[in-house]
Amino acid sequence: MRHPVRRDLPMMRRFSVHKCGLVSMLVLAATATMTEAAPVESTPERPESGRGIVTLPDLRARALKQRPELVVDRTRIAQAEAQESIASAGRMPTIAATLDTSVSPGGQLIELSPGVSGLDGPVLVQGSPTIDQGAAAFEPNVRYGGLIGVDWKIYDFGRTDALLRAARAETGAKKAEAARTKSNLLAAVDAAYLEWLGASERARFERAALDRLHARRRDLEARVQVGALAPSMLLALDAELASAELRVAYADDGIQRIHASVEAAIGQSLEPDARPDPLLLEIAAPDLDPSDANAASDAASRADAAGQMLSAQREALEAHLEAYSRSWRPVLRLSAQAGLRGQATNLFPVYQGSVGLTFPLWDGNQSGSRLALARAQRLEIDARITQHIDARRQAIHESQQTIHRSTKRLALAQTFLERARARLVDAEQRQLEGTASDQDVTSAREQTTRAAVEVLTAQLDRASAILSLDR
């Protein structure tokens, strides 16, 4: 909310007329009026050119580029998706081709005539000489073959489906963890940006105060030159000027230090002329009743990034529990293979098929231990979810209260600033007339600066609370 500068404050007309004449006094009075009308800057304004302004959304976008934390999360998601593909492949058959050759003694092929074999054509059978036949028993025979085999888990009574659901839940949990990491990064960016904005606005106050003191000195110096004021009146103002210049130097040093914090938060360097956007101090507050506890509870029930991560982790544990509980179920499996085997120039067809039902009997209690571990982890996750919801409800309630209190403080601080400005104008005018001391003017200036800082503090507290509700 902008407060117009009051330019209608009554000015006392009791001037100590010196030898300079009435014309000189009127000129100096006009100069004093223009100087006194300049208030302490408090309302945030974006520079007209906008050059060098970095908004909070811009800084957030920078913070999410090429951060090691986000790269780690992306690799974890890729690993989880690979595990999901592995679990899904359990539904599919495996097909393998085998080529083999072997050398061994014995197994010579002997042809039987149809009359001996009882078949329509000749038949080849294997025969092996005994060791008492000497070298013939050690004569090598080369055999070769090629087979294609299929192994298919036809049905496992839901074991594969449960493993697949668990893998998908793990992928969801990793994505939720990545969202939580991103939320934490943005929270750090918001905090650094508000600190930067506060330091920048305070530095602006100090520079504006220094400019007003320089203008005031030029006015008093002009009066001294025409004999309207004593030269001693410049001494106190010169001391204030030196103090103001020192405060500006401290403020600039503070901004440089905060630059490093902002750069650490976004993971990259800022431009030399980068400045925060003061319009963030006018951010609109959500329409929430700070006295309504149910509103905080409803907002807390809508999970944030951390809550979504915990919920996804619990879902993954539930899926693993289901998979572990089905590890005792039987598996119906089909195996088949077909191909050719040969010896010398003779080829023989080969095929085989089987269907088997396998019942797990004992695994050393591995499945039972996995079930016990998953149940304990589920209890831990449930407790963490409850704890997180309670903490989030409290944080939301505190943010609502902070918005309410800081908005009220802001209105009071703006009134304080307006009256402090009026007091400063009056004190400076009475100083010229000889009815106010240098200490009165200094006190009025300090009060005006303090009022401007109170306005800024309330604006920063309010903006911080509003941003915390958006996360």
* Sequence ranges of the domains in the chain: 22-89+158-331+363-470, 96-156+332-358
Tens of pLDDT, residues 241-268: 999 999 999 999 999 999 999 999 999 9
Q: How many CA atoms lie within 13 A of 420 on its CB side?
A: 24
The CA-to-CA distance between both ends of the chain, in Å, stands at 26
Mean pLDDT of 375-381: 94
d(C-alpha 436, C-alpha 424), whole Å: 11
Dihedral sign (CA 113, 118, 122, 128): negative
What span, in angstroms and rounded, lies between the C-alpha atoms of 13 and 18?
Answer: 15
- CA-CA distances (angstroms) from residue 293 to 307, 384, 396, 426? 20, 22, 10, 47
Looking at the predicted structure, is the pLDDT value of residue 401 above 60? yes
Vertex 381: Cα angle to 377 and 387 (nearest 5): 145
| Architecture of the domain defined by 22-89+158-331+363-470 | Up-down Bundle (1.20)
Please state whether the predicted TM-score (pTM) of the whole model is above 0.85: no
Residues in the chain: 471
Segment 399-424 mean pLDDT: 95
Question: What is the token pair recorded at 249?
Answer: 């130097």
pLDDT at 40: 45
pLDDT at 56: 95
Segment 370-386 shows an average pLDDT of: 93
Stated as kind and residue range, the H or E segment containing 15 is none
pLDDT: which is higher, 236 or 462: 462
Mean pLDDT along residues 292-298: 57
Query: Which two structure tokens, joined as six digits, stand for 463?
Result: 């903006």
Task: Supply 160's token pair.
Answer: 């594969």
- pLDDT tens for each residue of 112-143: 777 665 667 777 788 888 888 888 888 888 99
The better pLDDT of the pair 286, 219 is held by 219
Residue 201 has pLDDT above 80, yes or no: yes
pLDDT for residue 225 is more than 80: yes
Q: Is 30's pLDDT higher than 60?
A: no
